[in-house]
Amino acid sequence: MSRDNDKRKSICFFTLYTDKGASSKYRIIQFREDLEKKYDTKWFNFWNDKYTEEYINNKKKYIVQIVTIYLISAIKRIYQLLFIAPKYDIVFIQKTIIPKNKNTFLSRIKKRNRRIIYDVDDAVYEEPSSNSDNIAEKSDLIICGNQILRNHYKKINNKCIVIPTIDNTKLYPRYWKNTFDNKIIGWIGSKSTINNLDLIIKPLKQIIENDKRVHLRIICSDTYGYENKIDNIEFVKWDKTNYLKSLSDITIGIMPLYDTSFNRGKCGFKLIQYLSLKKPVIASDVGVNKTIVKDCGLIAHNESEWGMAIKTLLYDEKQYNKMSDNIENSFLSVYGYDVIYDKLTTAIEAIK
């Protein structure tokens, strides 16, 4: 697959998950159809759908199955890296090579003078078993999901750029509608992030007690006990075929975050999903959040500010509509699908 001068570039993509895994889907797999029109490609995922959809939510119960998948996938990936990847012009690594393994297996690729792109959208360098810094050191380009990640990797390799994590915004306009009267506070996420809702339980309880129309809609794999912590919870099990419809009914989207080094590395993807649906947002002032929100929502620093912000966007229709207009006028020009796809392919083309 190595190209001659008159052929297209060839790229071998190594993702952590299939399109059932959010980080892999939104960082690169959602662009697959367009990328395959432009390049000769090969795609390999590490974890399979069974792991992503079932085992990951109950690792203790499925430990034998997980270990089996891990060992088989690790052997496959080593073979793919040693014998398939070197045939391609560019090797694209999303997040990691083999989870929990510090070996990079990239020496053969480097000896063949192939180029390596490393894409990362979380502070994975915080994990003790991460080989993230080693991959970054060997890469010809590091694509970071935000500036905080870039600040870290630039100390290792100055060939870093920022491309934010987005959804396919071309799918969103059909779901645009005014939902100010619904009084639904929306949160979408996973088991690993749901504990951040603890930050706003108190103000949420107070608001719901005063107005029974207000609901918290959780779109996730499970409620993880939050139906016992907050009244008026609506649970919607995440599914790639229905999450946009479920999100389209919310009035506002929220992203509370504890101020930790890992959370500071997050890319604000929840906010980008809400805003792509023209829903004003409220977010903690952690990491990249303020940069994304700008004049399309509110930033909250404590419980009191969270309570005030929620009340403002639920009941001040003039403010609400102004922020909705700001989303369409400014947000999509930065975080639209075509904008991000062009940045990605420009970065690929710049690699020599």
- With a cut of 90, say whether residue 1 has pLDDT above it: no
- Helix spans in 211-293 (H): 243-248, 261-264, 269-276, 289-293
Please give the order of strands across the beta sheet that includes 297-300.
233-237, 215-220, 184-188, 252-255, 281-284, 297-300
Convert the pLDDT of each residue in 184-221 to its tens digit.
Answer: 999 999 888 999 999 999 999 999 999 999 999 999 98
Q: Which CATH architecture has domain 169-335?
A: 3-Layer(aba) Sandwich (3.40)
Mean pLDDT on 8-27: 94
- With a cut of 90, say whether residue 57 has pLDDT above it: no
Convert the pLDDT of each residue in 65-108 to its tens digit.
Answer: 999 999 999 999 999 999 999 999 999 999 999 999 988 999 88
| Domain extent listing, the chain | 10-166+337-350, 169-335
**The pLDDT value given to residue 6:** 54
Same fold, 10-166+337-350 and 169-335: yes
Q: For residue 350, what are the contacts with CB-CB under 8 A and spacing of at least 6?
A: 141
**The pLDDT value given to residue 177:** 94
Q: What token pair was written down for 223? A: 């409620």
Q: Are the C-beta atoms of 158 and 139 separated by less than 8 Å?
A: no
Convert the pLDDT of each residue in 262-314 to its tens digit.
Answer: 899 888 999 999 999 999 999 999 999 999 999 999 999 999 999 999 999 99
Task: List phi, psi (to 5°) of 113.
Answer: 60, 35
SS3 (DSSP) at 186: strand
Q: Are the C-beta atoms of 153 and 137 separated by less than 8 Å?
A: no
Pairing of the two strands 184-188 and 141-144 = unpaired
b/e code 144-162 from CB counts within 10 Å (16+ = b):
bbbebbbebbeebbebbeb
pLDDT confidence of 238, banded at 50, 70, 90?
A: confident
Top-tier CATH class for 10-166+337-350: alpha beta
Length of the chain: 352
**The pLDDT value given to residue 4:** 47
Amino acid at 223: T
Q: Are the C-beta atoms of 19 and 25 separated by less than 8 Å?
A: yes
